[in-house]
């Protein structure tokens, strides 16, 4: 988020983090002048999404979400069909969703889920290994690079209401 705050001076951000340590880490990296451009929401993102008005967001970034590797836990994945429908509600037409993960199986599932929704168009079909320039480097991306694991990137646009 630090990268975005520096390069997007007219934008306002909502950071969603359920864990206190993650919030503490984020706050420790912010400059005081950035405090008025960011809200931090410590809870399940679905609660916030349900409270937002239709078309409230212009961008959503889901960077290295928990892949919930075990089959019995996969229902907890953030980018399932139900949550993508929620994203569709709060994202304005023309809004973008950025996704990054280093788990190929999960990435393929994410693509399949977005493909099922007629309100979205995948913009980077030609190459999922090219990182969008808007994204900074996350802790999990650094871990993937250190273990010589590919990261996969998806850029999706909401095309209709």
Catalytic residue positions, numbered: 66
Q: 131: burial class by Cβ within 10 Å (0-12, 13-18, 19+)? A: middle
Helix (H) or strand (E) holding 149: none
Both structure tokens of 82: 């139900």
- Burial (CB count <10 Å: 0-12, 13-18, 19+), residue 81: exposed
């Amino acid at each position: 988020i630090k990268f975005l705050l520096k390069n997007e001076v007219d934008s306002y951000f909502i950071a969603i983090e359920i864990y206190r340590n993650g919030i503490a880490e984020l706050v420790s990296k912010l400059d005081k002048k950035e405090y008025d451009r960011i809200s931090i929401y410590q809870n399940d993102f679905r609660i916030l999404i349900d409270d937002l008005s239709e078309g409230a967001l212009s961008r959503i970034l889901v960077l290295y979400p928990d892949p919930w590797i075990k089959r019995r836990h996969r229902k907890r994945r953030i980018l399932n069909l139900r949550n993508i429908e929620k994203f569709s509600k709060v994202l304005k037409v023309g809004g973008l969703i950025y996704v990054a993960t280093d788990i190929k199986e999960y990435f393929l599932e994410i693509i399949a889920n977005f493909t099922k929704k007629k309100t979205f168009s995948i913009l980077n079909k030609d190459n999922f290994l090219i990182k969008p320039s808007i994204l900074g480097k996350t802790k999990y991306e650094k871990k993937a690079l250190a273990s010589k694991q590919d990261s996969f990137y998806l850029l999706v646009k909401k095309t209709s209401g």
